[in-house]
Chain A
Amino acid sequence: MQYLLLIYDEEQVWGKMSQAEQGKMYAEYGQFGAEIKQSGNHVAGHQLQPTATATTVRLRDGKRLLTDGPFAETKEQLGGFYLVNAKDLDEAIAIAARIPSARMGSIEVRPLVVPQAPKPA
């Protein structure tokens, strides 16, 4: 069977951690990722950028409604996912709007963290 493992934590807690503490967690993630790749369990996984980078997309009466920010409805629940390539946010939003559930629910569009070039010492 396949399972989706969704990671929830307090963004501001992560944000307040020192570089050393974050580095330690990244190392642990690296270790964990390598292990489950080894064991054949890994399919895909990535860190998401914080909710400030999110855009929520809905299609109502054929019109695209965008909201700045993450999904925040109490009546709707997570029902599925797509991981896509897109050249920019406009393309990602256009794809999101084509998802059939965009007509009745909400699609959160969140960019993935792009590995940075290492900063000079």
Chain B
Amino acid sequence: MDFEKHYREESGRILATLIRLLGDFDLAEEMLQEAYTVALQTWPAQGIPANPPAWLVSTARHKAIDRLRREQRFAVKQVEIAKTAEVSVSPLSEFEEDMFQDDPLRLIFTCCHPALALESQVALTLRTVCGITTEEISSAFLIPPATMAQRLVRAKRKIRDAGIPYRIPAQESLASRLDAVLLVVYLIFNEGYLASKGSALIRSDLCAEAIRLARVLCQLLPQYAETQGLLGLLLLQDSRRDARTSTAGDLILLEEQDRRLWHEDQIEEGSQLTRQALRRGYTGGYALQAAIAAVHAHAKTAEETDWRQIVGLYDLLLRHQPSPIIEVNRAIAIAMAGPLETGLALLDDLERREELSEFHLLPAARADLLRRLRRIGEAEVAYRRALSLCSNEIECRFLRRRLTELGAAGVL
């Protein structure tokens, strides 16, 4: 049995159940580790039990009782654990099976509770729901492991000390709480898709985890079109992962990518989900962004891209979610739909917005349009401005390359 694979895929929901039973994140994690240790020692010889998750839950729970008895902690909660442990048998009763199903949702909603800082929500979700180690998370976010460990400790402490309940939110708050969860999933994907710092452009592990989480959410909360929209978006963006960087690790723009390297199966699935989400009358942010990605995905060549449709989708998106960054993307789409000058004029206006003063993709976009219009001197200024704001090494290299190409045009 591939224990590592099992751990990655199953440990999240087993942990979710243990946290409910034991009422404590740390205790649940420790006891799960001990249960896995016993499994590693005994299963190869004695065979894998019929219901491994139930076995692990049961073993971990017994170990917790042993530990609490040893430490003589006879608070009411611990006595309750002992009672339910004596009653339970393996396989789980039907009632327990139902509870078991809800536990992953309890865990996800708790990790993404809005009383926790967003960065803590992301870290805690990756650690407890996805089973990714603290070291892996800290290296993905380029943060020292000790800092990440502290972040997790504080988050769990707040859950315990401030009384954050381990619960699926009530009906009336479910939709808004789900928004918070989807945002965390989206952030995890984006961190993997386009690193905010440093030289690694893609961290495929994070993208895969985000997609897996989105799938779980679609499965567990089928009534919400938002989750379909998000999964569609992630699949469509991820479908381009093998075409986005050259072998030297350089950035390849969408219009220059080898579309044969795009994953058709993900495009198909992502498009279907997007259509479903939109058909349900939902025109929320993720489904619309997915629709835009789908238009790109269905263009056989960059020249065939239906830019007018993309502009229309950005109009809808802006109405739903006014944002200066979306306005930048819309302006680029308008430029590509033609004429370039119209889009450039919009970008010029946006340059005056204070909230975009640190956004490197704005001068980069202006630079690109100026380059196409052969306004080389202005393009150079814009590329330099973009470089001064850029923090991603791969994007910086790309911008420097463009500058060099301008110079080679002989005008600088």
Contact = CB atoms under 8 A, between A and B. Distances in A.
Interface stretch (B112-120, B299-307, B389-397): B112-120
B67 interface: no
Interface in B81-133: 114-117, 120
Interface string A87-121: 11110110000000000000001010000010010
A111 B163 contact: yes
A68 interface: yes
Of the four ranges (under 10, 10 to 19, 20 to 34, 35 or more), the interface on chain B belongs to 20 to 34
Given A68-B115, A68-B120, A89-B115, A55 B162 contact: yes
A88 B166 CA distance: 10
Interface in B303-322: none
Contacts of B164: 88-90
A68 B117 CA distance: 5
What secondary structure prevails in chain A residues at the interface with B?
Answer: mixed
Contacts of B116: 68
Contacts of A55: 115, 162
What secondary structure prevails in chain B residues at the interface with A?
Answer: loop
Interface string B386-405: 00000000000000000000
B162 A90 contact: no
A117 B71 CA distance: 12
B163 A117 contact: no
B286 to A, nearest CB: 19
B154 A69 contact: no
Q: Which of B75, B120, B154, B161 has the most chain A CB atoms inside 10 A of its CB?
A: B161
A49 interface: yes
Nearest to B71: A120
A55 B158 CA distance: 10
A109 B115 CA distance: 10
Interface residues of A, number: 20
Interface string A18-35: 000000000000000000
Contacts of A86: 163
B8 interface: no
Interface string A51-81: 0111100000000101011000000000000
Interface string B72-84: 1111000000000
Contacts of B117: 68-69
B165 interface: yes
A89 B162 contact: yes
Contact of B161 (A49, A66, A87, A117): A49
B6 interface: no
A93 to B, nearest CB: 7
A86 B165 CA distance: 11
Nearest to B120: A68
B399 to A, nearest CB: 36
B76 to A, nearest CB: 10
B158 A120 contact: no
Contact of A120 (B72, B157, B161, B167): B72
A55 B72 CA distance: 33
B72 A52 contact: no
Contacts of A66: 114-115
A93 B115 contact: yes
Nearest to A90: B165
Contacts of A68: 115-117, 120, 158
Contacts of A49: 161-162
A11 B72 CA distance: 30
Contacts of B72: 120
A69 B176 CA distance: 21
Nearest to B161: A53
Contacts of B157: 52-53
Interface string B132-161: 000000000000000000000010011001
Contacts of A69: 117
B344 to A, nearest CB: 34
Nearest to A88: B165
Contacts of B162: 49, 53-55, 89, 109, 111
B120 A89 contact: no
Nearest to A65: B114
A52 B158 contact: yes
B75 A89 contact: no
Given A86-B163, A111-B161, 5 more contacts: A69-B117, A89-B162, A89-B163, A90-B167, A109-B162
12 contacts: A49-B162, A53-B158, A53-B162, A68-B116, A68-B117, A88-B163, A89-B162, A89-B164, A90-B165, A90-B167, A111-B162, A117-B73
